[in-house]
Structure 1
Amino acid sequence: MQGLLLIDFQRGFESPVWGARNNPEAEERAARLLSHWRSLSLPLFHVRHISTEPGSPLGPGTGGTEFIPALAPLAGEPVYEKSVNSAFIGTSLEADLRAAGVEDLVICGLTTPHCVSTSCRMAGNYGFRVTLAHDACAAFAANANTGWDRRLAPMDPEAIHAAAVSHLHGEFVTAHSVAEILAG
């Protein structure tokens, strides 16, 4: 059985604090996947980040924890709340995927190098066959202006996204476009 995992499609990522972003079509593409899954009554799972960092646009009471309307869960669709990068830590996601008979998992969400990457890695380590819908994900430039060595030049969000997908593909996931996934 193939499940769909939608990670952190939240209003808080509309904040300018994140800086420049790649792939402005990510949400529309994710909505196409969601519509397809719903039309076939396939298992789908929503995740949202509830930040514990003071001042975060994803903090409780900010409105940033609300789902983007086009990707909001319907009544009865499972929602997992997390405060770390992985959708699996502190949630029943792994057990619920297994209970639903999910062996193959399509993942999309925000942001590619953070919660998407961490959740993909864990899903792969848990033995799920993961397809990353790379064009239904996006990265931001925030925190990319200073590298670990304090010498790196600012990084473009597209380069951040491409690097994150490249690091995942072949080891933890197989990266495909939404069109390729929907074509089956």
Structure 2
Amino acid sequence: MSSALLVIDVQESFRRQEIWAATSNPGIVGQVNRLVDAARSAGDPVFWALHAEPGTGNLFDPDRGFVRLMDGLRPAADEPVLTKYVHNAFTTTRLHYLLTAAGIRELVICGIRTEQCCETTARVAADLGYAVTFVVDATATTPIAHRDAPADRPLTEILADPRTLGTDEIVARTEYALAGRFATIRTVDEVTGAAVALATG
């Protein structure tokens, strides 16, 4: 056992945001579950991360009750659920220690958001010496407003603004940034196919 699956921030906080209506991957729970099932079948450990911003009063404040996995995701009793307070899943958690203790050298990454916590974690993991597989269609993101756009605009205005970065472009940019530098880009079908082949010999 040298590989582990890391599920990042697939949490209710995101579904409560208005912009989630424009997400790149509304079926992310199903995609993540396919990876989880394949990892468990292959005997690979699964690690879960949730993002929290205590004291902010926003959707990532644990006191609001939304810092929890989306419905349909169920960690097994022996699968760690880590709470992080920065973008990457290493700096404020015991993830690196747990992976090292388990002899993990390969990390399969999925979750939310593609270009933010998932990409940042992939970069840090690569710098720490892990071989990273980034399962792009088991990540999700939302459109990004231009830096000069007014804050708190309704979703319709964000989507109508030609300066808004769309989800297809965000995902493509992440793939370009990671591939050949920090990670191998794979799809759920590719990863689960490989996992099934390994499990069946």
Give the alignment's TM-score, normalised by structure 1: 0.91
Q: Work out which of the residue numbers 37, 41, 44 in structure 2 matches 1:42.
A: 44
* Moved segments of 4+, more than 4 Å: 148-152
Q: Does residue 92 of structure 2 align to residue 90 of structure 1? A: yes
Q: Which has the higher helix share?
A: 2
After TM superposition, give the deviation of residue 27 of structure 1 in Å: 2.0
CA-based RMSD of the aligned residues comes to 2.0
One-letter amino acid matched to 1:47: A
SS in structure 2 of the partner of residue 39 of structure 1: helix
- The structure-2 alpha-carbon separation of the partners of 1:63 and 1:91, relative to structure 1 and needing over 3 Å to count, comes to same
Q: Give a deviation string over 1:132-172, Cα, whole Å, max 9, x none.
A: 0000001112xx22237999711112211221222111100
Aligned counterpart, 1:145 = 145
Bigger Rg, which one? 2
1:174 to 1:110, Cα distance in 2 relative to 1, 3 A: same
What is the DSSP-based 3-state SS (H/G/I as helix, E as strand, rest coil) of the residue aligned with 1:70?
A: coil
Structure 1 distance, partners of 2:104, 2:148, is 38
**Is contact 1:112–1:165 with CA below 8 Å preserved after alignment?**
no
SS of residue matched to 1:71 = coil
Distance 1:4 1:166 in 2: 22
Match of 1:172 in 2: 182
Report how far residue 63 of structure 1 moved. Answer: 2.2
Q: Which moved more, 1:159-168 or 1:5-14?
A: 159-168
SS of the equivalent of 1:114 reads: helix
Identify unmatched segments of 5+ residues in structure 2: 151-160, 195-201
| TM-score (norm: length of structure 2) | 0.84
Letter aligned with residue 98 of structure 2: D
Change (3 A) 1:5 1:148: farther
Gaps of 5+ in 1: none
Structure 1 residues 119, 148: CA separation in 2 closer, same or farther (over 3 Å shift)?
A: farther
CA distance in 1 between counterparts of 2:183 and 2:23 reads: 23
State the aligned residue count: 182
Q: Distance in 2 between matches of 1:52 and 1:63?
A: 11
